[in-house]
Copies of this chain bind each other. A is one copy, B any other.
């Protein structure tokens, strides 16, 4: 069996994160390398009760083949949630997906021919880079930082390219934790409006704000172009793989065809359980609990960083979400730091995989959602020692 692979898959490397973490997880190691929600906050009992109600209430129909668009009451809830935020998204424009990761795959499948332009944040979300890479676009990276997307660079790239798609995580971005301020959003939207392209606003962390003010969705400025991706993974549970696409009508028919071809429909039991959970419980109160915990953990990490890291190391100041991003002095390699840190039993993700074709970057992603405050302090101290040893001064 020789050379049978499609070109699209031969380009994709094995998971960088998996590879580097494979041998690093020794006992006693503190990991800021994860990307998981905190399992201690999962509403296990409420989900279990919702499950019993679904079996006794809906019965056999929850076990049968179901609609490709998704469970109607759940789609109605999502539509109503958008309405509360001032966004008019009819139920017919919402497609339930097997996690928002599948939303990325379906959008790539429906929109991208080989070589089509795709504007992506740099640093950008690794899962999106992987999903889109299979459709072989030309990635057009545009820098993001705490001021949002670099509009001068974006304008320059739009003079050179005619992208079909923009991909952004404007709230508490993975990996950097940054949020685009409204003023920046308005400028980005003005540039995007001139293009013939869809604009993806991926928003898995949007509800997890622990400080600052809610910023406006791009849908407000780009009503016909914006595709919203949402997820229950960070607010309810991730193991159910439940997300959604809220897309303009122009896209929906093709997305449904792609969804049918991909897996017929999303797991029906989990859709019904999450809906029942939402009906029986105060989801906003549950989210406030998550936000309070992550906020404290983020504060613990930030204080420890400011106390222990060399002054030359910069870091973002996330107002929500699960990640903080640190930048070593120019020329320092986060990959080298990783090796030293792993010996000191503390892990993080070096920045490299979040860039298109750049290596030995001086950046790193630190996750604070899964580690308690005391352990965070200990881990940051170890990491500071590793930085001293690397010579980040």
Contacts and interface: CB of A to CB of B under 8 A. Distances in A.
Contacts of A4: 111, 164, 196-198
Contact of A99 (B5, B9, B113, B263): B263
A47 interface: yes
Contacts of A196: 1-2, 4
A238 B99 contact: no
Contacts of A265: 241
B98 A1 contact: no
A130 B1 CA distance: 26
B48 A64 contact: no
Please give the count of copies of this chain that the complex contains.
2
B113 A134 contact: no
Interface string A61-105: 111111000000000000000000000000000000111011011
A98 B263 contact: yes
A51 interface: yes
Interface stretch (A38-46, A171-179, A292-300, A310-318): A38-46
Interface of A: 1-2, 4-9, 12, 14-15, 36-37, 39-40, 42, 44, 47-48, 51-52, 55-56, 59-66, 97-99, 101-102, 104-105, 109-113, 116, 127, 130-131, 133-135, 164, 196-198, 224-225, 233, 237-241, 248, 250, 253-254, 257-258, 260-270, 273
Q: A-B pairs with the 4 shortest C-beta distances? A: A239-B268, A63-B237, A48-B55, A98-B263
